[in-house]
Amino acid sequence: MTADMGLLIRNQKQNGCRGVNNNTRDSLINADDGLVVLDSSLEIMSFNPAAREIIIPEPRYGQKLNFSSFIASPYLSMLEDAVEATLHQGKTRVDAKAALKTTSGKSIFIRYAIHPLYETSRVIIGLIFSFKQLSTPPVSDTTDDISNSALIKHQSLLEALPEGVFTINTKWRIASFNRTAEEITGYSRKEVLGRYCWEIFRSDLCDMGCPLRTAIETGKSEMDQDIRILKKEGAQLTILVNIGVLKDENGRVAGAVETFRPLTGERNQPDGTKQAHAFSHIIGNSRPIQQLFALMPDLAASEVNVFITGESGTGKELFARTLHDNSSRARHPFVAVNCSALAESVLESELFGHEKGAFTGATKARAGRFELVKKGTLFLDEIGELKPSLQIKLLRVLEQREFERVGGTQTLPLEARIISATNRNLALALKDGSFREDFYYRLRTVPLAIPPLRERKEDIPLLVRYYIQFFNTTCKKKVKGVDPEVMALFSDYDWPGNVRELERTIEHAFVFVKGPIIRMENLPHLEMVCKPPASETPHNAKPGLNTETILKALEKSDGNRQKAADLLDISRTSLWRKMKTLGLLD
């Protein structure tokens, strides 16, 4: 018997460990099993050599044990709930299973038990955490075979996709990893297959709000969520992910598939592309943007609720994240929730969390975003889509700074800062009562209106330059700029999709550009190419611009388009657009 184990037994005798019977105590004192005794604050009272070897590299008495440092995220919530039930209700948890990250960096499966530790007065003073390594994962080989066969069925198709794609089975192990995923992350397929996804991506959401877990648990897809990961060499990268659930031929969930690509937007600039006219990663030199830049430092330093408005694609989440990154909360999580993507009942559980049995399908307790974000920033996007019933509940949370899980009775504190956003004009919603006035004014302590790109067109050259630099890095090309005709078209166009549409347009051009200059023929056949600008409406467009008229003008000007446009009293861009519509371009 080790000295540490002797100390454990002495502590048990002194404190009257009534919560553990003799048979259990004998099973705990096993040299092959890991064992740690913790007080009610989860500080270490004792441990044995197996625990020190596997989970605590340099243990010391009084050190607080952080379960999240060695228990893998899909199992962490269940274990933490069991710890809470043991400390507060005296409940014992036995024969539970989890994936454990060892001090050597490897992952193993364990079976663990948690027992309360009592004083003679029956006051719980701590707990006993014991675990035993399993030689095989706690699932049948048959299930894994079914999942893996379903996941790798279309591997050849995944290789052709321009986005990174990987799949996991229901045990969170990576089953496929395409070539683009290798290029983005820096990992080879051989390095990742069979490993847990959180070991590879090390995302800021792996331990809270994992979209893969949400997809598998709810059976619903997760769309356009941006998360931050670490590449193999350690560099941080923000990616935009879409997640779907994979099912086998019998309709059983076989795992999930995630597609991802680097999120360019106006953030995550590659080395050497930082703009002079920028605040953090927001680019712009126009007066509306500069006015926002002047507000950002004070807003970041404050704790007030910020209400961001702006059209789709203007970068509302980017502004919210920038406020977070420049605040005292930057070391804590930034969690974004799209309020329009989930049904009301699902969204309530997602925000508040729920207790086991709170509703059909609630097979275990789960923490919500209010808990998981802790002292960070919670970004509620598309807040204008909330139903009035949920508005009332959120209003109470904002006013009282506390909440309860769905089906629970314990009051929990709200420690996070709230930033919300919408692309709706809420004036009508306030008038017809679909959006509560008291909720609206509680959210908008400070309003922040993001201008559309058509109102900041002087920023277009800056953004174009940035995107060219970015896609030169990601696409391994050497594009120098855009043709003046292209820039004139960009300046004429109203960009209904805002900055996001501009990004997609440049990305499309990079697929087809062959030389150093992006030309008209490299642009997508979008509305921006075919539709006249807002200033050239049908009633004031020049009449008679048919094939014959244009050809005569070109003949008179010896094929010079600018001279032909002057003869027709239209701009060169309008002439090009009309020629394209009439099929006169090669």
Fold of the 454-531 domain: Helicase, Ruva Protein; domain 3 (1.10.8)
The residue with greater pLDDT, 68 or 24, is: 68
Least confident residue range of 70-74, 123-127, 408-412, 537-541? 537-541
Nearest partner of 440 among 386, 379, 492, judged by Cα: 386
Measured distance CA(503)–CA(238) in Å, rounded? 16
Distances from the Cα of 409 to the Cαs of 179, 235, 404, in angstroms? 49, 43, 6
Distance from C-alpha of 355 to C-alpha of 143, rounded to nearest angstrom: 29
Element (H, E) at 379: strand 377-381
pLDDT number for residue 265: 38
Burial class from Cβ neighbours inside 10 Å (0-12, 13-18, 19+) for residue 457 reads middle
Of the listed ranges 152-161, 313-322, 483-492, the least confidently predicted one is 152-161
Could you give the CA distance from residue 75 to residue 93 in angstroms, rounded to a whole number?
14
Beta bridge pairs of residue 34: 131
- In the 8-state DSSP scheme, what is residue 455? G
Fold of 3-133: Beta-Lactamase (3.30.450)
Are the C-beta atoms of 384 and 429 separated by less than 8 Å?
yes
The β-bridge partners of 127 are 38, 116
- Per-residue pLDDT for 533 more than 60? no
In the predicted model, is pLDDT for residue 169 greater than 50?
yes
Is the model's pLDDT at 266 over the cut of 50? no
Q: How far is CA 171 from the centre of its chain?
A: 21
Q: Are strands 481-482 and 353-354 parallel, antiparallel or unpaired?
A: unpaired
Those residues with Cβ within 8 angstroms of residue 277's Cβ, 6 or more apart along the chain or in another chain: 283, 284, 285, 462
Residues 6+ apart with CB under 8 A from 583: none
Residue 220: closest CA among 375, 24, 361, 94? 361
Q: Beta strand pairing status for 446-449 and 282-283?
A: unpaired
Cα 559 to Cα 554: distance, rounded to the nearest angstrom: 5
Quick check: helix, strand or coil at residue 411? Answer: strand
d(CA 562, CA 553): 10
- CA atoms of 144 and 389, how far apart (whole Å): 42
What pLDDT is attached to residue 263? 61
Q: How many CB atoms lie within 10 A of CB 86?
A: 23
pLDDT above 80 (res 275): no
Give the C-alpha separation, 507 to 162, whole Å: 12
Q: What residues does 96 pair with on adjacent strands?
A: 112
pLDDT band at 283 (very low <50, low <70, confident <90, very high): confident
Q: Give the tokens for residue 139.
A: 């699932």
Nearest to 279 by CA among 317, 318, 312, 314: 318
**Torsional sign, CA 209, 211, 212, 216:** positive
User: How high does pLDDT run on average in the chain?
Assistant: 78
Q: Do domains 3-133 and 141-262 have the same CATH topology?
A: yes
Q: Is 446 helix (H, G, I), strand (E, B) or coil?
A: strand
Q: Which CATH class for the 287-450 domain?
A: alpha beta
SS3 per residue for 496-516: CCHHHHHHHHHHHHHHHCCCC
Which H or E run includes 404? strand 402-404
Tell me if 428 sits within 8 A of 435, measured CB to CB. Answer: no
Q: With 60 as the cut, is the pLDDT of residue 386 above it?
A: yes
DSSP code at position 557: T
3-state class (DSSP) for residue 553? helix
Residue 433: which pLDDT band, with cuts at 50, 70 and 90? confident
Looking at the predicted structure, is the pLDDT value of residue 147 above 80? no
Pick one of 1.10.760.10, 3.40.50.2000, 1.10.10.60, 1.10.10.920 as the CATH number of 533-586: 1.10.10.60
Letter string b/e over residues 223-252, b meaning 16 or more CB atoms within 10 A of that residue's CB: eebbbbbbeeeeeebbbbbbbebbeeeeee
Q: Which two tokens stand for residue 134?
A: 């399993």
Region of poorest pLDDT, from 162-176, 212-226, 504-518: 212-226
Please give the pLDDT value at position 320. 93
**389's tokens:** 């019933």
Count of H-run helices and E-run strands, the chain: 24, 23
Which has more pLDDT, 127 or 143?
127
Strand pairing of 306-309 and 446-449? parallel
Segments in 401-494 forming alpha helices (H): 426-432, 437-443, 460-475, 484-492
Query: Where do runs of H (alpha helix) occur along 480-583?
Result: 484-492, 498-512, 527-530, 547-556, 561-568, 572-581
Q: Give Rg (Cα) of the chain.
A: 29
Q: How far is CA 367 from CA 207, 353, 408, in A?
A: 11, 4, 11
Top-confidence residue, 267 or 230: 230
The domain 141-262 belongs to what CATH superfamily? Answer: PAS domain (3.30.450.20)
CB atoms closer than 10 angstroms to residue 128: 25
Residues contacting 506, CB < 8 A, separation 6+: 464, 467, 468, 471, 518
User: How far apart are alpha carbons 247 and 256 in whole angstroms?
Assistant: 8
Whether the predicted pLDDT of 142 surpasses 50: no
Tokens of 497: 């999709």
Bridge partners, residue 243, by sequence: 222, 258
- Please state, in angstroms and rounded to a whole number, the distance separating the CA atoms of residues 224 and 156: 24
Which of 22-36, 315-329, 507-521 has the lowest average pLDDT? Answer: 22-36
The average pLDDT across 505-531 equals: 80
Task: Provide the pairing of β-strand 481-482 with 334-338.
Answer: unpaired
Most confident by average pLDDT, 104-118, 207-221, 534-548: 104-118
The domain spans of the chain are 3-133, 141-262, 287-450, 454-531, 533-586
